[in-house]
Chain A
């Protein structure tokens, strides 16, 4: 029988022991004496969040297909267990073998959002791995980071041995082979890192020197080890259909956020919204073959027993075979009581028809993300959505029986004026008016238009990477303007308004575009007790402000400055395909309110075509 790392007394005392015992359906067990590489794959948040992440399931499956690798999972222990582990000196362990992480060859951490940075330190700390990479010797695992946040890994540079930049499917094999060879030759940690640095897409932060100007911006950023490359090429899978996909993902015992089969139908987005980092990072847009997806859907539902399947992509409506796929899913699985989730669909006749088939119209709500209230602002962000399109979509939905609509907007976008802010409630009101145009006897009571705003955060590798942010007070003032304008609307009783907190926005802004100097703040915040910062109940802004104060780091430098065209950004050494020139050109067009066509309408020459895949070669076939 399996032996657990935690004793019964602890397991019966903590919340949800199922988070820590492994043993789930489709989890992979191997004989540790028969593998060469033991890899601990970590999502630095609680189990229910980590288990919902598709990327880890893909890599878990891919690594475990190799006979010489055993990939296991590890997530952040929640506060209750964290405390027990420190009290009883229990080292952090992997779910499958329950063995300590410190005995592994690799600890891979996926970094999905900025507010998990203190959790990364908790993982290292509880694993008894020195926090700074420079303090690690040959006895501890190689700590590797991946995921969207490593497109600017600099705030975390001191804590990682290496970063994998880009999509995980391409060079892990090479990395593992290099590791095995180094082990066979009795090579040191440093020798392995030097070999790794020669692999495309692998960045070893310790091999680079950064110097700063007097104003705090970067003067130079260059490799100081002959094995390190001056520029790191982001990894991209050329043919998505040919990559492996988990046919039997792990099925958690407890309810997790994503408790369903997830079918990734495409990667990337053709739209080119200027605020969207994913839209630039995952270029070119690549589709998976619809016939293969049908097989996957069948096999995954069968192997997991899930009662729900969801399509995953940045913009499902742009998937060319959507109609065929959705029709297949409804036809094949609806009878078996399988729910079909269709997120990120544009509202049109087709999507309304299928949504009417897969969900209860009276109970469900429709979601629009106009992102900005005024047409001027939507042109600035290149949203490609007109008021007419929104109103006609809503109108069709209302006539189809829906009466609940959710709207998502951003505040604090570049060039935003008070008038732009006020257009948000006005648009919500126009949608409500459209509803009340339907004769009373044909509509379903009152409508409910729920509007949420979040504050815009400029991200690296977007046209808005030069933009400035605002202070906490300024954000709140903007939300107040919107709130006041809501109370002026005719249909105010049918309108609801929520806004997100601004404190987290400020911190996310700092880390999104931060540099190496920030590792001190992260460590200081962790020392002061910051953990699970993405959880409202545990986020403690006072401690964070204290951490900035104690380390003498100025938030204004990162957030309140409009960046100069000549400034060297901390992430400039990464080549994502899309060029800095293209991004700057887009920034200038944004300031003029000029739009750019999407990738299928015409190629704008962003640079991603060098990867020779997906939408970039569609028309040339």
Chain B
């Protein structure tokens, strides 16, 4: 039996990296007495996988991990028990059953992530934001009209030029920040700072001189083909003339 946990990450916890958040949840499962399943062998470990790593410094309202359970547990009860052993800066908001098959796992189905980027007074604090210059509205439209957006993407081993345009599903200016809907997952993955960096370069700003804070709103999967799943938080995106529907991972559950 498998379950998906959705949690929020905010406050000082944004300085805790992905691997340490994994360790945190492993210990939290024991503290909360969640009947999680283990692998066999001499050093058994918990069967647990995170959908999509979150970079240090970024806050989020939509983080996911899937776990395998030894026995059923009531969702409300699980949420309550987990929140009793959390720290300030991590809240469990959902715990639901998901299909057992491999292809339903969070890690496999992640296709997109939504971010909000806000402009900061100073890199010293993510709490003090400032409004965007008026000119940005038009510049952003121009930026998105370009055929391709080539950036230098550096990985641990190498640097290469990549056209990120096809991975930007949506980018628009809203009152509370720049809204980004970006490709995510194991096949292609785009980080929000790379997009904002390219935009700043486009408008002739030095990226390091313009501080931003990033917030992940949610993580999405493609609507499974042939299903008529309707939910309020789903997103319809037109890509190359074709409509694609994305739904938050928390909606793909067994009810």
Per-residue B-contact encoding for A1-31, CB less than 8 Å = 1, 0 else: 1101001110110000110011111000000
A304 at the interface (CB under 8 A from B): yes
Chain A residues 355 to 374 lying within 8 A of chain B, measured CB to CB, are: 359-360, 363
| Chain B 26-49 interface 0/1 with A at a Cβ cutoff of 8 Å (1 = within) | 111111010000100011111000
Determine if B125 and A7 form an interchain contact, defined as CB atoms under 8 angstroms apart: yes
Evaluate whether A305 and B27 lie within 8 angstroms (CB atoms) in the complex, with A12-B57, A17-B56, A359-B42 already known: yes
- Measured in the bound complex, the distance between the Cα atoms of B27 and A255 in whole Å is 12
CB within 8 Å: A-B pair count: 79
Q: Is the CB of A17 within 8 A of B123?
A: no
Flag if A23 contacts B87 (CB, 8 Å): yes
Cβ of B83 to closest chain A Cβ, rounded Å? 13
Query: Nearest Cβ in chain B — how far from A583, in angstroms?
Result: 45
B246, chain A: closest CB distance, angstroms: 30
B185 to chain A minimum Cβ distance, whole angstroms, is 25
* Residue tally, chain B, CB below 8 Å to A: 33
Which chain A residues border B28 with CB–CB below 8 Å?
A: 305
With A9-B123, A337-B44: A18-B87 Cβ-Cβ less than 8 Å:
no
Does more than half of chain A's interface fall in helix, strand or loop, or is it mixed? loop
Is residue B24 within 8 Å, beta carbon to beta carbon, of the partner chain?
yes
Alpha-carbon distance A336/B27, docked complex (angstroms): 12
Chain A residues with Cβ below 8 Å from B23 are 253, 255
Residue contact A25 to B57, C-beta cutoff 8 Å: no
A337 and B27 contacting across the interface, CB-CB below 8 Å? no
Chain A nearest CB from B59 CB (Å) reads 11
Tell me if B146 counts as interface (CB < 8 A to partner A).
no
With contacts A302-B31, A337-B38 taken as known, whether A2 is within 8 angstroms of B88 at the C-beta atoms is: yes
Residue of B nearest to A259 (CB): B23
Which chain B residues lie closer than 8 Å to A303 at the CB level?
31
The residue in A7, A254, A307 that gathers the most chain B C-beta atoms within 10 A of its C-beta is: A307
Contact A24 B87, CB 8 Å, known A255-B23, A304-B27, A305-B27: yes
Instruction: List B contacts of A336 (CB < 8 A).
Output: 30
Does A301 reach chain B (CB closer than 8 Å)? Answer: yes
CB within 8 Å of A: which B212-238 residues:
none
Q: Are A305 and B29 in contact (CB under 8 A)?
A: yes
A397: Cβ under 8 A from any B Cβ: no
Q: A306 contacts the other chain (Cβ, under 8 Å)?
A: yes
B128 CB → nearest A CB, Å? 10
CA distance A307 to B31 in the complex (A): 11
CA distance A363 to B46 in the complex (A): 21
| Contact in complex: B30, A307 (CB < 8 Å) | yes
* Residues 81-95 of B at the A interface (beta carbon under 8 Å): 85, 87-89
Residue pair B12, A8 in contact (C-beta under 8 Å): no
A337-B124 contact in complex given A1-B88, A307-B26, C-beta closer than 8 Å: no
Set of chain A residues within 8 Å of B190, measured between Cβ atoms: none
Decide: A2 and B12 in contact? CB cutoff 8 A.
yes
- Asked if B15 lies at the interface with its beta carbon under 8 angstroms from chain A, I say yes
Which residues does chain B contribute within 8 Å of A4, judged by CB atoms?
12
**B15 contacts A21, C-beta separation under 8 Å:** yes
Of the candidates B15, B31, B122, the one whose C-beta lies within 8 Å of that of A305 is B31
Interface string of A53-86 (1 = CB under 8 A from B): 0000000000000000000000000000000000
B13: A residues at CB distance < 8 A: 23
Q: By the criterion CB–CB under 8 Å, are A253 and B20 in contact? A: yes
Which residues between 507 and 531 of chain A lie within 8 Å of chain B, taking CB atoms? none
Hey, which chain A residues are within 8 Å of B42, CB to CB? 359-360, 363
A339 within 8 A of B: yes
- Complex: how many Å from CA A251 to CA B12? 16
Contacts of B124 in A (CB 8 A): 7-9
Does B11 reach chain A (CB closer than 8 Å)? yes
- Chain B residue at minimal CB-CB distance from A22: B12
B151 at the interface (CB under 8 A from A): no
Complex: how many Å from CA A4 to CA B126? 12
CA distance A504 to B85 in the complex (A): 44
User: Taking the nearest CB of chain B, how far is it from the CB of A330, in angstroms?
Assistant: 13
Within 8 A of B (CB), among A244-286: 251, 253-255
| Closest partner residue, chain A, to B120 (CB atom) | A8
Interface residues of B in 67-106 (CB under 8 A from A): 85, 87-89
Task: State whether B88 touches A337 (Cβ < 8 A).
Answer: no
Whether A8 lies near B31 (C-beta < 8 A) is no
Residues from chain A with a CB closer than 8 A to the CB of B27 are 25, 251, 304-307
Contact between B15 and A18, CB atoms less than 8 A apart: yes
B16 at the interface (CB under 8 A from A): yes
Q: Find chain B residues with CB under 8 A from A302 CB.
A: 30-31, 33
The smallest C-beta distance from A45 to any residue of chain B, in angstroms, reads: 20
- From the candidates B26, B33, B46, B56, name the one contacting A12 in the complex (CB within 8 A): B56
A11–B15 CB distance below 8 A: yes
Nearest Cβ on chain B to A132's Cβ, whole angstroms:
35
- Interchain CA distance A363-B29 in the complex, whole Å: 28
Nearest B residue to A24 via CB reads: B87
Known interface pairs A1-B11, A18-B16; A25-B26 also in contact (CB < 8 Å)? no
Residues of chain A within 8 A (CB-CB) of B46 are 337
Residues of B near A359 (CB, < 8 A) are 42
Q: In chain A, what residue has the closest Cβ to B57?
A: A12
Known: A7-B124, A305-B28. A25 touches B87 (CB 8 A): yes
B-chain residues with CB within 8 Å of residue A8 when the two chains form the complex: 57, 123-126
Chain A residues near B125: list those with CB within 8 A.
7-8
B residues 117-155 near A (Cβ < 8 Å) are 122-126
Which one of A23, A305, A307 contacts B85 once the chains associate, using CB atoms below 8 Å? A305
Q: Is the pair B31, A337 in contact by a Cβ cutoff of 8 Å?
A: no
- Taking the closest CB of chain A, its distance from the CB of B91, in whole angstroms, is 13
- In chain A, what residue has the closest Cβ to B13? A23
A360 CB contacts on chain B under 8 angstroms: 42-43
Shortest Cβ distance from B218 into chain A, in angstroms? 22
Q: Given the complex, which residues of A lie within 8 Å of B12, measured CB to CB?
A: 1-2, 4, 21-23
Residues on the A chain within 8 Å of B15, using CB: 11-12, 17-18, 21
Of all chain A residues, the one with the shortest Cβ separation from B44 is A337
**A9, A22, A25, A253, most chain B CB atoms within 10 A:** A253
Q: List 24 A-B contacts (CB under 8 A).
A: A1-B11, A1-B12, A2-B11, A2-B12, A4-B12, A8-B123, A8-B125, A12-B123, A17-B56, A18-B16, A18-B20, A21-B12, A22-B12, A23-B88, A24-B87, A25-B27, A25-B31, A25-B85, A25-B87, A253-B20, A255-B20, A255-B23, A337-B38, A337-B46
Known: A2-B12, A254-B16, A360-B42. 18 other contacts (CB 8 A): A7-B124, A8-B57, A9-B123, A12-B15, A12-B123, A18-B20, A21-B12, A25-B27, A25-B31, A25-B87, A253-B20, A304-B31, A305-B27, A305-B29, A305-B85, A307-B26, A359-B42, A360-B43
